[in-house]
Amino acid sequence: MASCSATSAPSLCSLLKLNCRVSSARQNFLLPPLSVSRKPILSPPSLSFAFKKIPGIAPRRFSESEAPEVEAEPVPESEPAQIVESSIEVPKREEVFAVVVIGSRQYIVFPGRFIHTQRLKGATADDKIILNKVLLVGTKTSTYIGKPVVPNAAVHAVIEEQGLNKKVTVFKYKKKKKYRRNIGHRQPNTRIRITGITGYQDSPAVTLDSL
């Protein structure tokens, strides 16, 4: 389902390094962040920044794309029996990210990964979706900041599955009043795989050199 399109000024994003190895997350909600460390997304090509690269414990928010699409290091072939090429071919994904609003929640999305959102009514599996409320787009060299929305930017996604969250036990109890209720609850959700981010190129941007 397409949300209403809105115009926004493009913004400048820092670089996005997609080397994060991420375990699949149930919800795109920031779990206790102290236990999660992630490499900085973008590394500026010309500037040197002081931030340290933390050996990646993958952030739990973002999900991993299919195994062959993850950037793999070249595997040196030492066995003489195999005649394959020395490096595994990995399709290059454009290094860009966007902040998108779905169901009045904001998510940071990358192409090729999936997110869990609130249940989208009337959607079925393998539906193509265009999300128009894009608040910020970031590439390796520039950021497009929306006021409030980046004009003409669109995030393309495919609905993968309409499922339910993990069961939560809602237990209500009042002492000395003989009141207790034990209720289970599973919130419906939708898993969406992001396929691409387009339409931000013409918007005003903040580029690396101007910072």
> What is the distance between the alpha carbons of residues 116 and 110, in angstroms, rounded to a whole number?
13
With CB under 8 A as the contact rule, the residue among 128, 163, 171, 187 that binds other proteins is 171
Stretch that binds other proteins, among 44-52, 114-122, 123-131, 193-201 (CB under 8 A): 44-52
> What is the distance between the alpha carbons of residues 64 and 73, in angstroms, rounded to a whole number?
16
Q: In what order do the strands lie in the sheet with 114-118?
A: 114-118, 188-198, 154-164, 128-131
- Residue 63 near residue 113, CB atoms below 8 Å: yes
Query: What x/- string results for residues 114 through 153 when contact with other proteins is judged by CB under 8 A?
Result: ---------------------xx-x----x-xxxx-----
Q: Give me the residues paired with residue 179 across strands.
A: 174
Select 125 or 211, whichever has its Cβ closest to other proteins.
Answer: 211
Closest Cα to residue 110, out of 124, 95, 122, 123?
95
Q: Does 186 bind other proteins (CB under 8 A)?
A: no
We find the least distance from the C-beta atom of residue 84 to other proteins, in angstroms, to be 36
Select 7 or 87, whichever has its Cβ closest to other proteins.
Answer: 7
Select 44 or 162, whichever has its Cβ closest to other proteins.
Answer: 44
